[in-house]
């Protein structure tokens, strides 16, 4: 098959990559110099990248299980298109009719999708027990906050393309950091609302999401849910703790005194949920490389907790699955060296070898968390996405 990748570029456009002219895969040897050299040598071209959450365990020197998917992949497409309106326009690389057609097909009417039976890998009883165990760790002072996740899966699924899934997700829930990747061995379709990190010139911007409320069935109920979210001590505390963590991460890269909280706990509304999002920025020191930024900030605070290493270790112990691309990142490195990377949440991942399609979901656990409420929040976050393709046994 011919590889395809897509990443939302602006409110009205997407970048689409077809094929692979050249690639770099970061393996367990963590050859950061080779990564920076690959990016530097290809400056002036658009690069796509996918980052595996498991890479974060290596960065934090935490032992992990062998990964089935690449730790990180950066590649240059054969043809890069800008999709705007209903047309794809060639930006870089070789033009041919097939690549142009493959780009425009990403937004065409989808083929039928056979109904999927999703199954949560942790049942309700086990989920509640694990959350309460994690609260005991918090009570003991092992961590202050931890992002605890679970995997919703379906086995024996035969896919030749994940485009129909992406198109249905996009039509139902057009999110600011949506994306797609199709390769011979794996595919993903993301309806992510969250930015991990963006570089614009000398400025670095991170926008963690922490704090969730469902959309209301009426305008009145919707406004009540917003007010409840904004006044919730628990939800705001989740967000503020991660803001402090991100400030600390960025301070390792920033010029003195330049780390700033531009927005704190601002409510953003999406088709299925309301979320609290904070924006933290800094001015980068000169000559900071892509790998240095990654090592200082990944895995992202919103998907880990505080302190980061302790939170990641506990999550790995209690979750019982390898997150792989879920909780990782998809994005684009632009020709001038700027980049934009999302957080791979609200994301379907398909493994061609195992024939498994999965959707991870999680939330922040603090001392104020109620296990039942956390379980219901997971349903709010991905329930509507899963229902687009079948039913889920929680």
Structure tokens at 302: 């919103």
What is the structure's pLDDT at 174?
Answer: 94
Assess contact for 225 and 213: CB atoms under 8 A. yes
Do the strands 273-283 and 260-269 form a parallel or antiparallel pair, or are they unpaired? antiparallel
Assess contact for 327 and 345: CB atoms under 8 A. yes
Pairwise CA distance, residues 260 & 40, whole Å: 29
What is the structure's pLDDT at 137?
Answer: 98
Do the strands 390-393 and 116-120 form a parallel or antiparallel pair, or are they unpaired? parallel
**Unique residue bearing structure tokens 């705001």:** 236
Q: Which sequence positions are flagged as catalytic?
A: 194, 210
Please state the φ and ψ torsions of residue 263, each to the nearest 5 degrees: -140, 135
**Does domain 4-111+118-393 match CATH 3.60.120.10?**
yes
210 SS3 class: strand
What is the structure's pLDDT at 109?
Answer: 77
Pairwise CA distance, residues 252 & 245, whole Å: 12
Pairwise CA distance, residues 201 & 218, whole Å: 43
Pairwise CA distance, residues 231 & 237, whole Å: 11
DSSP of 50-79:
EE-HHHHHHHTT---PPPSS-SEEEEE-SE
Number of C-beta neighbours around residue 185 at 10 A? 11
Assess contact for 146 and 305: CB atoms under 8 A. yes
In angstroms, the Cα distances linking 160 to 79, 93, 241, 337 are: 21, 25, 42, 33
Pairwise CA distance, residues 201 & 191, whole Å: 27
Pairwise CA distance, residues 5 & 11, whole Å: 18
What is the structure's pLDDT at 305?
Answer: 97
Please report which residue ranges of the chain form alpha helices under DSSP H.
32-41, 53-59, 97-104, 124-140, 163-172, 219-231, 233-251, 290-297, 308-319, 371-387
Q: Is the whole-model pTM more than 0.85?
A: yes
Q: Mean pLDDT, 10 residues at a time, over the chain (394 residues)?
A: 95 97 94 98 97 97 90 98 95 95 90 92 96 98 97 95 96 96 97 97 97 93 95 94 97 98 96 94 97 98 97 96 97 98 98 96 96 95 95 93
Please state the φ and ψ torsions of residue 278, each to the nearest 5 degrees: -110, 150
In angstroms, the Cα distances linking 248 to 251, 307, 315 are: 5, 11, 21
| CA dihedral over 364, 369, 375, 379, signed as positive or negative | negative
């Amino acid at each position: 098959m011919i590889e395809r990748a897509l990443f939302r570029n602006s409110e009205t456009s997407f970048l689409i990559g077809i094929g692979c002219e050249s690639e770099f895969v970061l393996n367990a040897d963590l050859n950061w110099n080779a990564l920076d050299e690959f990016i530097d040598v290809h400056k002036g071209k658009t690069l796509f990248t996918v980052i595996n959450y498991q890479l974060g365990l290596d960065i934090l020197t935490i032992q992990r299980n062998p990964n089935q998917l690449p730790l990180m992949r950066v590649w240059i497409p054969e043809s890069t298109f800008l999709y705007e309106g209903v047309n794809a326009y060639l930006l870089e690389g070789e033009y041919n009719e097939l690549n142009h057609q493959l780009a425009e097909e990403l937004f065409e009417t989808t083929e039928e999708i056979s109904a999927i039976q999703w199954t949560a890998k942790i049942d309700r009883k086990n989920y509640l027990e694990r959350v309460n165990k994690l609260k005991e760790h918090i009570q003991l002072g092992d961590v202050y906050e931890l992002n605890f996740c679970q995997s919703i899966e379906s086995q024996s699924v035969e896919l030749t393309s994940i485009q129909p899934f992406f198109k249905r997700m996009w039509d139902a829930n057009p999110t600011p950091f949506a994306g797609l990747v199709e390769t011979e061995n794996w595919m993903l379709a993301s309806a992510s609302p969250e930015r991990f990190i963006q570089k614009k010139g000398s400025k670095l911007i991170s926008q963690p999401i922490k704090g969730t409320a469902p959309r209301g069935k009426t305008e009145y109920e919707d406004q009540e849910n917003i007010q409840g979210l904004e006044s919730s001590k628990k939800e705001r505390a989740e967000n503020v703790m991660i803001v402090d963590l991100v400030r600390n991460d960025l301070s390792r890269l920033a010029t003195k005194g330049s780390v700033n909280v531009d927005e704190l706990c601002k409510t953003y509304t999406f088709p299925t949920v309301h979320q609290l999002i904070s924006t933290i920025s800094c001015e980068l020191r000169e000559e900071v490389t892509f790998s240095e930024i990654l090592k200082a900030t990944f895995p992202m605070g919103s998907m880990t907790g505080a302190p980061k290493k302790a939170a990641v270790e506990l999550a790995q112990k209690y979750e019982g699955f390898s997150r792989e691309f879920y909780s990782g990142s998809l994005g684009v490195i632009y020709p001038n060296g700027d980049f934009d990377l999302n957080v791979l949440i609200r994301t379907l991942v398909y493994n061609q070898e195992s024939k498994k399609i999965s959707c991870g979901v999680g939330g922040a656990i603090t001392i104020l968390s109620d296990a039942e409420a956390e379980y219901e929040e997971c349903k709010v976050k991905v329930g509507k996405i899963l229902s687009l393709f079948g039913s889920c046994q929680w």
